[in-house]
Structure formats: C-alpha cells, structure tokens
Amino acid sequence: MGASLSNLADGSSGLDSGPGLGDIPESCVACVFLYLTPPEICNLARLNRAFRGAASSDSVWESKLPANYQDLLDLLPPERYKSLSKKDIFALLSRPVPFHDGTKEVWLDRVTGRVCMAISARGLAITGIEDRRYWTWIPTEESRL
C-alpha cells in the first residue's frame, strides 16, 4: 500500500505511476506536523515541496512555542525578532538568551519546546541568613572566576 502511494519503492518516474507524497495537500501535512516534534518536522521537510511548505507554516510552529514565548522575546532587542517567522523565532529561542547581566540564561528545548533556565552562582541571592560568611564571594581553584 505504501509503495503505491509514495513512488519511493520502485523508483519509477512515469506519468502513469499514480499519486505521490507531493500530491498530499499542504494543509493536511501541516495538520500531521502538529503532532510531531520539531526535529521530526525538520527531517520531513526535506522530502518534497509540500512538506517543506507545511514545515514553514506559522500555525505549525505557533503550536510548538510555549504560551509565554513573547516574554522570552522581550529579553532580546526588538530588531532581532520583529520580522521573523514563527519557525525562525523557535530557532532563535532554541539558543541560550542571556539576561540579568549574563548571570541567567533561558532557552527552549529543541525537542519538547519547554522553557529551560540556567542560573549561575553569582545570579543567586541568599536571604534569611545573617552570617556574613554566606554573603562574601570566595573564589576557589574549582570555580571559573
């Protein structure tokens, strides 16, 4: 069944070979992409023009972005993301975005689309302890700074 629909099994390229993957409407492919992970979407986009078009659809990538992605974009200068598609915004946010003088970073996990965050030791604050030993930064050979 799959070989007759995709033309991938026999490699024939005649006019009478039947429908192929390129005959699937882009909107149908986009509906399927809603259930896939971003890496799977990118891999399938290499198959043909219809898959590539569906993989560039803002509706597909909007579903992969977290609900608060605009808050993450606000950490960047507006000129870096104003004219980008949702796919490009996902790619931009998949790389670490530093904030608070570089003591914190936030990014999207490329597979799940979930927000990840890293906080350096200098980005932490100790509250509720009056002992001054805990308020002084003591560099050691094991630390980077």
Domain count, the chain: 2
Residues 76, 52, single domain; the answer is no
Average pLDDT of the chain is 85
Could you tell me the residue range of the domain that residue 142 belongs to?
A: 66-145
> Once rounded to an integer, what is the mean pLDDT over residues 56-77?
95
Residues 75, 122, single domain; the answer is yes
pLDDT the model gives residue 145? 55
DSSP string, the chain: -HHHHHSTTT----TTS---GGGS-HHHHHHHHTTS-HHHHHHHTTS-HHHHHHHT-HHHHHHHS-TTHHHHHTTS-GGGTTT--HHHHHHHHTS-EEETTTTEEEEE-TTT--EEEEE-GGG----S---GGGGS----TTS--
> Once rounded to an integer, what is the mean pLDDT over residues 82-94?
96
pLDDT the model gives residue 10? 43
Residues 57, 95, single domain; the answer is no
pLDDT the model gives residue 19? 83
Residues 55, 70, single domain; the answer is no
Q: Which of 48, 64, 80 is a domain's end point?
A: 64
Residues 58, 122, single domain; the answer is no
